[in-house]
Every structure is written in structure tokens, then in C-alpha cells.
Copies of this chain bind each other. A is one copy, B any other.
Amino acid sequence: MSRTLKLTLAYDGTAYVGWQRQAEGVSIQGLLEEALARFDGTPVAVHGAGRTDAGVHALGQVASARVATVHDPAVIRRALNAMLPGDVRVLSVEEAPENFHARYSAAGKRYEYRIWQGPVQPPFVRTWSWHLPHQLDIEAMGRAARALEGTHDFSAFQSAGGGVVSAVRTVTRARVERRVLPPGVTGGGADADGGEAGGYLVSVQLEANGFLRHMVRAVVGTLVEIGGGRRSGASVPQLLESHDRGASGPTAPAHGLVLVRVDYPAAAR
């Protein structure tokens, strides 16, 4: 008599040890399992599509769970949001095929990494963007990012400990864009002393059929070296061929990263 649910979640990861349950600290998975168990009256296991690290955010994380409740999805969503803290929100609850699994059924994911480029980082973007005061060559970063598109062995952008058999992934989209935010988010009089205090958001977007451990953050660390002129954009193909994590850039900080959405084949939905 059990059903499978697909839950779409948004969270501000600042206060959490990440998606996955840990020995210490509060995880998103743990919060969700406790809330669902309270609603269902029995322990519930929740599987997430992406195991976001400590401090990483989500706008469209997907989780699956088998539950006994016969309540409507909209009722379950309201009940969960009433139990969860305000920085973790269930955006939607849907019925899913019995064998739907948020992680194994996923066909692809989209991550975005946000950089605040400018001398002063506005207070309201500080929790979800990496502050880089120096100028970046966004065109050069965009060209370098495109070289990642396609099917490659991404060992050069993988941290140890991921526990995967193969580092081959297919990146379907890699873009670097300047993004304009409404002044209500960034602050009004920001350019009072000749525009120097102004700035803008640089958005790095990666879509792939799967991601390795710290892959987006290693890509961003490398692209930032390219954007700052400390590394040639033309070096990306050799980097990929090197299979050497030591050859690529540093891992960018977690708080700039957000899991934007997870895609499933039509049959799994």
C-alpha cells in the first residue's frame, strides 16, 4: 500500500552539513526524513538526486521517498513546510512511478555557480555568491567553459573520495554569463563614488548527465584563473587529457554553488 513521492526542494545551505546525513550536524536529508516520518507515523528513507556539500544551496533539488500516507500531495507539501525550518522549503510534491528514484532515475542536472565581481559585495548576495574584487574576462571564461562541453574524462576536475568507477561524463551545456540583479537585491546608491563600489554577478552554468565530487567548484576555480589572466583559456583540452586534479585550479568555495534543477526522462516522471 505504499506510494512513491517526488519532492522538489529549495534550500539555503548556509546552516547545514549538506544534503546527506552525517554523524554530527544537521543535514537536509535528515530534516526531511524526520518530517516525513512524523507525518507518516513510520520511518521514511529519502533519496536525493544530488548530494550537495556543506554550504551548497538548491533551487530545485529532487528527492524521492516511499510513504504509506494516503493524503493528497498538496496536503503533504503543506504539512512538511509547516514542520521544516524556513531555509528549507518543499516547492512541490508529486506522485511518481513506484520505481522512481531521485538519484538513479535522473538523466541530468544543472548547477549554477555565482561570483560577485566588484569591490563591495552587497549584504543580500553574500550567502550565495563568491566575492572576487578583481576584474574577470568573462568572454575568455565563456570560451574556456565551452571546451568542456561533450563527453570527456573529467578526472582533472574531480576531488578524491567520490567513489566512482568512471570519471567519464557528458557536459551538455557550459556557459558563463554576466547577470543583472534588480537594485532591490544589490543596493541602490552603490555607485555613489564614481561607480567603484558597483559590481555584478557572474553566473557559471553547467549541465551534465552526472557530476563528480567538487566538479563544478574545480571547474569554477580553473575558469577564474583564466578570467584573471593567470591561465590560458586554450589549456582546457590539455587539462582534460592530463586526468590530473593537480593541474587544474583550486576548488571554489561551497557557498557560491546552487543545484538549479534535475531532469528525468519522460518515462520516469
Whether A12 contacts B92 in the complex (CB less than 8 A), given A59-B184, A203-B184, comes out as no
Whether A120 contacts B81 in the complex (CB less than 8 A), given A91-B187, A184-B114, A189-B92, comes out as yes
List residues of chain B with CB within 8 A of the CB of A59.
Answer: 122, 183-184, 186-189
Is the CB–CB distance between B179 and A60 below 8 Å?
no
Counting CB contacts under 8 A, is A149 at the interface?
Answer: no
Interface string of A98-132 (1 = CB under 8 A from B): 00000000000000101000011111101110000
Whether A179 contacts B184 in the complex (CB less than 8 A), given A10-B123, A74-B193, comes out as yes
List residues of chain B with CB within 8 A of the CB of A93.
Answer: 193
List residues of chain B with CB within 8 A of the CB of A78.
Answer: 119
* A123 vs B192: C-alpha distance when bound (angstroms): 30
Is the CB–CB distance between B192 and A8 below 8 Å?
yes
Is the CB–CB distance between A192 and B91 below 8 Å?
yes
Counting CB contacts under 8 A, is A86 at the interface?
Answer: yes
Q: Which residue of B lies closest to A12 (CB)?
A: B123
Counting CB contacts under 8 A, is A185 at the interface?
Answer: yes
In A154-189, the 8 Å CB interface with B consists of 179, 181-189
* A66 vs B57: C-alpha distance when bound (angstroms): 42
Is the CB–CB distance between A89 and B193 below 8 Å?
no
- What is the CB-to-nearest-CB distance from A74 to chain B, in angstroms, rounded to a whole number? 7
* A189 vs B61: C-alpha distance when bound (angstroms): 9
List residues of chain B with CB within 8 A of the CB of A10.
Answer: 122-124, 187, 190
* A73 vs B81: C-alpha distance when bound (angstroms): 47
Whether A189 contacts B77 in the complex (CB less than 8 A), given A120-B90, A124-B128, A181-B182, comes out as no
Give 9 closest A-B pairs by Cβ, nearest first. Answer: A92-B192, A12-B123, A92-B193, A10-B187, A60-B189, A59-B187, A60-B188, A8-B189, A86-B126
Residues of A within 8 A of B (CB): 8, 10-12, 57, 59-60, 73-74, 77-78, 81, 86-94, 112, 114, 119-124, 126-128, 179, 181-193, 196-197, 203, 258, 260-261
